[in-house]
Chains A and B, each alone.
Chain A
Amino acid sequence: GQNIDQPTEMTATEGAIVQINCTYQTSGFNGLFWYQQHAGEAPTFLSYNVLDGLEEKGRFSSFLSRSKGYSYLLLKELQMKDSASYLCAVRENDYKLSFGAGTTVTVRA
């Protein structure tokens, strides 16, 4: 089976930086995704990594190390609207996503 681990909760202050780690052990690997999910809403796509290294997209960056089975999502200049759940997902083949349980980030003023 697959095992995708991420912390349950994190709290940070507005304007700060938060790093959400994700470790995975899956039967296959064909890319890693990060999704943001506000309470009561659908997950929305944030970032995608398939090769090792850092992908930067505005205030959000995502890093992947395939040899270590490790990724992180970095959120910079935190805003109140960034309070949400962040889901790490591994694509195991050409289509199937396996998700972690999500990390709830609370941004405090």
Chain B
Amino acid sequence: GAGVSQSPRYKVTKRGQDVALRCDPISGHVSLYWYRQALGQGPEFLTYFNYEAQQDKSGLPNDRFSAERPEGSISTLTIQRTEQRDSAMYRCASSEVGTDTQYFGPGTRLTVL
């Protein structure tokens, strides 16, 4: 079946602009996660959804970052007033439930100029 999909795959934006990154999880997966991965590092946890409920947002770096999953399926990670330090690969993952294996999407490469 189809895996996790993310769009756009690449996003170049100017400092100060807002960006919205989309994640479409594997069908039927109730748990969804956002990670950020710097080059040469492992993914870093940002936030976790169980259905539509955001149950953990402790990894979001600051209040410019927010995420939603209004219908318990597709999720959007929004970064407001982007800064150069926000440049990274943003990855989404999903699992059947929280305790199951997480499957990762291809990521969105964000570059802030």
The reply to whether B91 and A96 form a contact with Cβ atoms under 8 Å apart is no
B104 x A44 contact (CB < 8 A):
yes
- Interface contact B99-A94, CB-CB below 8 Å: yes
Distance in angstroms from B100 CB to nearest chain A CB is 9
A35 to chain B: which residues have CB within 8 Å?
104
Give per-residue flags for A83-109: 1 if the beta carbon is below 8 A from chain B beta carbons, else 0: 000010101001111111110000000
Residue of B nearest to A104 (CB): B40
A96 touches B107 (CB 8 A): no
- Bits for B43-58, please: 1 = Cβ < 8 Å to A, else 0: 1110010100001100
* Chain A residues bordering chain B, tally (CB within 8 A): 22
A63 within 8 A of B: no
Residue of B nearest to A91 (CB): B99
Asked whether B33 lies within 8 Å of A101 as measured between CB atoms, the reply is no
**Chain B stretch 1-55: residues in CB contact (< 8 A) with chain A:** 4, 31, 33, 40-45, 48, 50, 55
Which residues B59-113 have CB closer than 8 A to chain A? 91, 95, 98-99, 101-107
Contact present for A101 and B40 (CB under 8 Å): yes
Say whether, besides A99-B42, A100-B42, A102-B41, A94 and B104 are in contact (CB < 8 Å). no
Residue pairs across A and B with Cβ atoms less than 8 A apart, 9 shown, are A42-B106, A43-B43, A48-B101, A87-B42, A95-B33, A95-B50, A97-B43, A101-B42, A102-B41
For the complex of A and B, the 10 pairs showing the least CB-CB separation, nearest first, are A99-B42, A95-B98, A42-B104, A94-B98, A43-B104, A87-B42, A45-B101, A101-B41, A42-B106, A95-B48
